[in-house]
Amino acid sequence: MKKVPYRFFLTEDQMPRQWYNLRADMKEQPDPMLNPQTGKPATEEDLYPVFCKELARQELDSTTRYIDIPEPILEMYRIYRPSPLIRAYNLEKALGTPARIYYKFEGNNTSGSHKLNSAIAQAYYAKEQGLTSLTTETGAGQWGTALAEACAYYHLPLTVYMVKGSYNQKPFRKAIIQTFGADVIPSPSDTTNAGRAILAEHPDTTGSLGCAISEAVEKAVTTEGCRYVLGSVLNQVLLHQSIIGLESKKAMELLDEYPDIIIGCAGGGSNLGGLIAPFMQDKLLGKADPRIVAVEPASCPSLTRGKYAYDYCDTGKITPMARMYTLGCGFIPSANHAGGLRYHGMSPILSKLYHDGYMEAVSVEQTKVFEAAVMFSKLETILPAPESSHAIRAAIDEALKCKETGEAKTILFGLTGTGYFDMTAYTSFLEGNMSDYIPTDEDLKRGFDGLPSIPGIQ
């Protein structure tokens, strides 16, 4: 086998020019989104008040296998893509594993994460439609940063509802979003009915993604020329994020490699869904059979301990309902430094694939995650985001299993971003002040009790 470089970049002309729509190859489709008013499958028109038209179309398109990436989006991609596929030689050596560990590093842009891939697309389509402003939510802050970058480029005013815990823990993350010109509001806030309702019930809450989504959607549908955009969970987002997997697969082909195990952290599923897309295609078409592993925090275990049920995507129950693995939209996860993984649900596409046995899931505790993060940073000279470090933890665990068995497996994981705005969390870990939290069955039951009842369905 030829010597693999540390960091491998596709050239510009090797970059994918189409996104891949995983649904086109799924044996069974995810159950349709339901209109919360009618309980019927949502139509494109139902989505127009919330999403711009092309994105509503992409959201419901389950048949077009490849979708051309518009040239202006490709232009923007070229500013920070392709991202490198990195061989973790130092990590392999330190672990003494026969496994070959690769990671696709999406942190080399100012959003510090893969989020820019979809932010650019969504801002572009909004601008094309002549919209005059956008709203969104952000948890850890990467999505808010990415969308603020994209909106700055397209001159679109943006309001970001930022989960209050992150807003307070990460003043510099807030500042960078403001640098790109966006308004940042801590959520829950008194600017929306949804926010006011949560505050009345839980005045001291540090918020959640579900709640911030409610506020952002409410603001969008009540403002002329405004739409809402979301950085995860949705089918359209997984579509845009397929660029990660397509680049990874192409790069591995050029290196004569194919992963035996593919690992990604999973909050709403945007990174994982994008990374695995073309490999899952191989699996669905019977061309290969890699293991695909979702890694979630033990504090917010939607796949490993959630229910596969219809639920709202937000806490305020104003979005369409999706069938997905969920902890219940009323579940408010404990403070966890991986803010980007504190979401009650999971992408309907990934939920369906998991339900049908095409992928595995593990949950990990945050102190174990930060152990892996600090080790990784010292060896690979990248300071990983806490979210991304969930994947590192699982990759290390798999590499250590290979050490025991002597198997030289090829492991690919997604390093979704950097941790420069997470130093409070790192300091808390280094000082021994970080605790693990695992919800009790009682905690989960409270969440499940809030699942909607849908006549004839659940």
Residues of the shown chain interacting with its own copies in the complex, contacts defined by CB under 8 A = 5-7, 9, 11-12, 75, 78-80, 89-90, 108-112, 116, 149, 152-153, 171-172, 175-176, 178-181, 374, 377-383, 418, 420-421, 423-424, 426-427, 430
* Residue listed under structure tokens 């593990």: 362
Q: What angle do CA 197, 200, 202 make, to 5 degrees?
A: 105
Residue 48 or 420: the one with the smaller Cβ distance to its own copies is: 420
Could you tell me the smallest distance in angstroms from the CB atom of residue 368 to its own copies?
17
Q: What angle do CA 311, 300, 333 make, to 5 degrees?
A: 85
Could you tell me the smallest distance in angstroms from the CB atom of residue 79 to its own copies?
5
Find all residues with CB under 8 Å of 17, minimum gap 6, and list them: 68, 69, 74
Pairing of strands 7-8, 18-20: unpaired
Q: How far apart are CA 32 and CA 323, in angstroms?
A: 7
Residue 8 or 358: the one with the smaller Cβ distance to its own copies is: 8
Could you tell me the smallest distance in angstroms from the CB atom of residue 141 to its own copies?
12
Residue 382 or 451: the one with the smaller Cβ distance to its own copies is: 382
Could you tell me the smallest distance in angstroms from the CB atom of residue 180 to its own copies?
6
Could you tell me the smallest distance in angstroms from the CB atom of residue 164 to its own copies?
19
Could you tell me the smallest distance in angstroms from the CB atom of residue 13 to its own copies?
9
Q: How far apart are CA 157 and CA 151, in angstroms?
A: 7
- Kindly tell me the burial class for residue 78, based on how many C-beta atoms sit within 10 Å of its own C-beta (0-12, 13-18, 19 or more): exposed
Residue 179 or 222: the one with the smaller Cβ distance to its own copies is: 179
Amino acid at residue number 162: M
* Beta bridge pairs of residue 414: 104
Residue 109 or 206: the one with the smaller Cβ distance to its own copies is: 109
Could you tell me the smallest distance in angstroms from the CB atom of residue 190 to its own copies?
24
- For residue 103, the SS3 value is strand
Q: How far apart are CA 212 and CA 241, in angstroms?
A: 22
Residue 166 or 192: the one with the smaller Cβ distance to its own copies is: 166
Could you tell me the smallest distance in angstroms from the CB atom of residue 381 to its own copies?
5
Residue 51 or 180: the one with the smaller Cβ distance to its own copies is: 180
* Torsion sign across C-alpha atoms 138, 144, 146, 150: positive
Residue 408 or 430: the one with the smaller Cβ distance to its own copies is: 430
197-230 per-residue burial string, b: 16 or more CB within 10 A, e: under 16 = ebbeeeeebbbbbbbbbbbbbbbbeeeeebbbbb
